[in-house]
Structure 1
Amino acid sequence: MEIFYYLLFGGLGAVVAAVELSKNNKDRITTTPAFNSFKNNYLLVYSLMMVVETVDLDCIAEVDGIWCRLGIERTEAGDWLQGPYVYYLYSQYGFGKGEIGQLFIAGFGSSMLFGTIVGSLADKQGRKRACVTYCIAYILSCITKHSPQYKVLMLGRILGGIATSLLFSAFESWLVAEHNKRGFEQQWLSITFSKAIFFGNGLVAIISGLFGNLLVDTFALGPVAPFDAASCFLAIGMAIILSSWTENYGDPSESKDLLTQFRGAAVAIASDEKIALLGAIQSLFEGSMYTFVFLWTPALSPNDEDIPHGFIFATFMLASMMGSSLASRLMARSSLRVESYMQIVFAVSSVSLLLPIVTSFMVAPSKVKGGSISFAGCIQVVGFCAFEGCVGIFWPSIMKMRSQYIPEEARSTIMNFFRIPLNIFVCIVLYNVNAFPITVMFGMCSIFLFVACLLQRRLMVIAEKPKTQDWTSLKEKDTEADPLNI
């Protein structure tokens, strides 16, 4: 079966190369040198941040007798450099899987509790400052990995959760605001979004995994080495931000406290159906994606089959790169709306996650322990690659829709509001990862994605309707309802 992995990896690599090299003028957007310089600066910083993000992507952990992925793939997304060593490091310090599970949950809980606060501070105090704060918080989180003390490690996870909230709100908010402030065309945002996913969530992931393996295995520097390297990359990124980025704000009004800003963001979500639909779609898709990351390993090796986890992971990253490359071509067509093709993406992703259920009925399960991947496993790998391709399309496309529908004044606040149900879901799944059969979990994900497809259809229908209220009118209405600003 080893030839299967090479054929799949080579085939996907060829497709990615073909898609990139076959782009014609219709698939490309003509830009200016000023925009290209701005875009490349952001892509460099974003790639450096994605090398080190803190949600333990590739950490394979033994939980209740099975091997499952404890980590988030993109979207909490990142930790390409150090992810494979987080669980291993904690176990080397002598902690059991129960204590390690609490550390992981603490990171997501921290992101949930503090996310809206740091998002609002980013809108009010400045997005550049928030990006610098992310770098500092995560460097401190990396430093805590040198301590074997459980409380210190817990502090590191909390800092990491706060940093995650900043990464996935402040950076995008800064980009959109700065893009508009410099007078670049709105359509050019899609180029930056798709390239960020292609490089930051694809190519950088593969390279970082190899680099982390080099540090730990080849140079024998120990499992803390990737965290030290992560700190260096963060310091480089922070230096670039400080030296080349300008500050921008959401609503810098001094009279608006955090509570009022939270309420204003909540009113915006409740009063604009497009924003509410966007938040629901994002939560449903990312929740399904996170569950997939937890479960793909046991799904492919139910009888302890010997599967090359790293090679399969690299194949998934190639599939994601293919998706982001396709997304750039789709978004380059002015006649094709994001709201339209995303319905198909959600439908395909829903079907792809049904394959573990389908194969369980159509292919007799093997009772032989060990060995190579089964025929059913091969079918599932192909389906999972299709899902990863959908993930690659999803990220730049959801970024594009967020730039269109979320008001600038509270962009970071609203984006972190979207992450509250997301982090609750992740904590529940982490805590009950073995409470249900794998087929039930995949079936739940498929239903979530089908619902996302229906909601996307609704979003497309109302997307052309004029706004009934803008952010200014919402603020005025909120002030009238509460003139004392209490």
Structure 2
Amino acid sequence: MEAFYWLLFCWLAVVVAAMELSKTNRDRASTSSAFNSFKNNYILVYSLMMAGDWLQGPYVYYLYSQYGYGKGDIGRLFIAGFGSSMLFGTIVGSLADKQGRKRASVTYCITYILSCMTKHSPQFKVLMLGRVLGGIATSLLFSAFESWLVAEHNKRGFEPQWLSITFSKAIFLGNGLVAIIAGLFANLLTDNLGFGPVAPFDAAACFLAIGMAIILSTWTENYGDPSDSKGLLTQFQVAAAAISSDEKIALLGAIQSLFEGSMYTFVFLWTPALSPNDEDIPHGFIFATFMLSSMLGSSFASRLLARPTPRVESYMQLVFAVAAVTLLLPVITSFLVAPSTVRGGSISFGGCIQLVGFCTFEACVGIFWPSIMKMRSQYIPEEARSTIMNFFRIPLNIFVCVVLYNVSAFPMTVMFGMCSCFLFLASLLQRRLMMVSEIHRSKSQDWTDMKERDTEAEPLNIG
């Protein structure tokens, strides 16, 4: 079975490298040097921010277990993180729009560094504080940076279609290559060099500090609505009104919550799905393969976004449908493939089928991130961008907390089946979003044509 892992990994690596190399020169030729400098600065900062996040992921559960906490206590710590993001995320997002996105990005660095520092204490209350701080930081990571980028890109007068290049490149590096390197580096610090499970958190704090220094020295401030007349409650009302009055924004929020909820559930379930009988599977190697698949997806998305057709609203229907099928594979294989009863051993035949499907799902994740960023940049109003983006995360965090609380109450096939249903629903909502956007675009074009005809019909005033 080792040959199967290597074959899958090497094939993905070759395809990803070929696609990226063929695309880089074209991107450089079609954009300006000022934009490339701006893009590279943002990607560097974003990659450092994601490195600070990815370094912690593999060792959070392990560190808590080393401190002597059981599954129940660790589950409560994880729920605290998502609950904190849900409770404080919207407030933090509104402050980012009002007080400035650069300031919010610096706050992310400081908050996450403090969260990393709490990992040195084995006391439950201190670790709980760290999870709360980490939840707040997560809300900032997934709203403030993107909001700053979109506003700054438009303020500097760059071509709107160039924004897709930055999105896809940031996801390719920050959610792909950086994740692989961070995982290997964390393993080196913890196991090979013997610094223990706290070392990755100290390294994460260092990367966050470097990123914060770059933000402070190179970024300019931008705002959503800095008006003093609008308080925090008013910001909430503006965001809620935008979501309720514009079907496109409401659909976008529902689609995002359904997909990300399924994605986070998959993160919890892929290990027991591939090793139901404690099969000996290379977790780190499989994680790296998943990240390569995500890189492949983001590289493919950059090609799609660079073309006028198919539009992002159109092709994402197929992406969600494919993702739904891949997460249905554990259910299908449980009926069609006889389960192994041997404890230990290598991955089963059914596990191999699921692994290929999971890699396909990760490729869909790679397509999803730059594509949803593109749609958010088109549909979400600038004055409340961060607030609305964090509104979208409220149902997501509720869903993840419920899943974490009941993860052992339902069979794994039921959980995967539920995620598959959510993704099929996301595909249907995406189709509705495409239809609504086409109607809106057609009306806008008719209005423009009518204005042009009225202008041409006006008599010349001579004299």
Report the TM range for the smaller structure's normalisation: over 0.9
Which deviations, in whole Å up to 9, do the C-alpha atoms of 1:277-319 show, x marking residues without a partner?
0000000000111111111111111111111111111000000
Deviation, 1:405, is 0.2
2:160 corresponds to: 186
Deviation, 1:347, is 0.9
**In 1, Cα distance between the equivalents of 2:381 and 2:428?**
24
Task: Please state whether the residue corresponding to 2:439 is helix, strand or coil.
Answer: coil
Task: Give the stretch that moved more between structures: 115-124 or 329-338.
Answer: 329-338
In terms of Rg, which structure is larger? 2
Q: Work out whether 1:324 is the aligned partner of 2:308.
A: no
1:60 corresponds to: none
**Amino acid across the alignment from 2:12:** L
**Amino acid across the alignment from 2:85:** S
Aligned residue runs from structure 1 range 109-188, under 5 A: 109-188=83-162
Q: 2:150, 2:163 within 8 Å by CA — same for their partners in 1?
A: yes
Deviation, 1:118, is 0.3
Q: 1:26, 1:333 within 8 Å by CA — same for their partners in 2?
A: no
Which structure has more helix as a fraction of its residues?
2
Match of 2:375 among 392, 401, 404: 401
Task: Return the TM-score normalized by structure 1.
Answer: 0.89
Q: 1:144, 1:156 within 8 Å by CA — same for their partners in 2?
A: yes
Aligned residue runs from structure 1 range 227-266, under 5 A: 227-266=201-240
Deviation, 1:464, is 2.6
Give percent identity, aligned residues only.
Answer: 83
Aligned residue runs from structure 1 range 337-356, under 5 A: 337-356=311-330
Which deviations, in whole Å up to 9, do the C-alpha atoms of 1:196-223 show, x marking residues without a partner?
1100000000001111111111211111
Aligned residue runs from structure 1 range 376-391, under 5 A: 376-391=350-365
Q: 1:29, 1:188 within 8 Å by CA — same for their partners in 2?
A: no
Match of 1:372 among 346, 349, 367: 346
Seen in structure 2, the aligned counterparts of structure 1 residues 253 and 469 have a Cα distance that, compared at 3 Å, is farther
**In 2, Cα distance between the equivalents of 1:255 and 1:294?**
44
Task: Please state whether the residue corresponding to 1:464 is helix, strand or coil.
Answer: helix
**In 2, Cα distance between the equivalents of 1:206 and 1:459?**
34
Unaligned runs of 5+ in 2: 445-463
**Amino acid across the alignment from 1:144:** T
Q: 1:322, 1:389 within 8 Å by CA — same for their partners in 2?
A: yes
Q: In the comparison of the two structures, how many residue pairs are matched?
A: 444
1:43 corresponds to: 43
Match of 2:422 among 448, 455, 473: 448
Match of 2:436 among 462, 470, 479: 462
Deviation, 1:358, is 1.1
**Amino acid across the alignment from 1:7:** L
Q: 1:28, 1:332 within 8 Å by CA — same for their partners in 2?
A: no
Deviation, 1:28, is 7.5
Which deviations, in whole Å up to 9, do the C-alpha atoms of 1:442-469 show, x marking residues without a partner?
1111111111001110111111333899
**In 1, Cα distance between the equivalents of 2:271 and 2:403?**
15
**Amino acid across the alignment from 1:294:** F
**In 2, Cα distance between the equivalents of 1:24 and 1:5?**
29
Deviation, 1:95, is 1.8
Which deviations, in whole Å up to 9, do the C-alpha atoms of 1:12-55 show, x marking residues without a partner?
111112222344988887110000000000000000000112xx
**Amino acid across the alignment from 1:12:** L
Seen in structure 2, the aligned counterparts of structure 1 residues 467 and 22 have a Cα distance that, compared at 3 Å, is closer
2:456 corresponds to: none
Q: 2:67, 2:122 within 8 Å by CA — same for their partners in 1?
A: yes
**In 2, Cα distance between the equivalents of 1:6 and 1:349?**
24
Deviation, 1:86, is 1.3
Q: 1:29, 1:332 within 8 Å by CA — same for their partners in 2?
A: no
Q: Work out whether 1:219 is the aligned partner of 2:193.
A: yes
Q: 1:26, 1:332 within 8 Å by CA — same for their partners in 2?
A: no
Q: 1:138, 1:159 within 8 Å by CA — same for their partners in 2?
A: yes
Root-mean-square deviation (CA, aligned residues, Å) is 1.6
**In 2, Cα distance between the equivalents of 1:411 and 1:136?**
22
**In 2, Cα distance between the equivalents of 1:156 and 1:468?**
50
The ranges of structure 1 where at least 4 consecutive aligned residues each deviate by more than 4 angstroms after the TM superposition are 24-29, 467-470
Deviation, 1:361, is 1.1
**In 1, Cα distance between the equivalents of 2:198 and 2:151?**
37
Task: Please state whether the residue corresponding to 1:145 is helix, strand or coil.
Answer: helix
Task: Please state whether the residue corresponding to 2:270 is helix, strand or coil.
Answer: helix
**In 2, Cα distance between the equivalents of 1:21 and 1:236?**
28
Q: Work out whether 1:295 is the aligned partner of 2:269.
A: yes
1:5 corresponds to: 5
Deviation, 1:133, is 0.5
Task: Return the TM-score normalized by structure 2.
Answer: 0.94
Deviation, 1:186, is 0.6
**In 2, Cα distance between the equivalents of 1:308 and 1:29?**
41
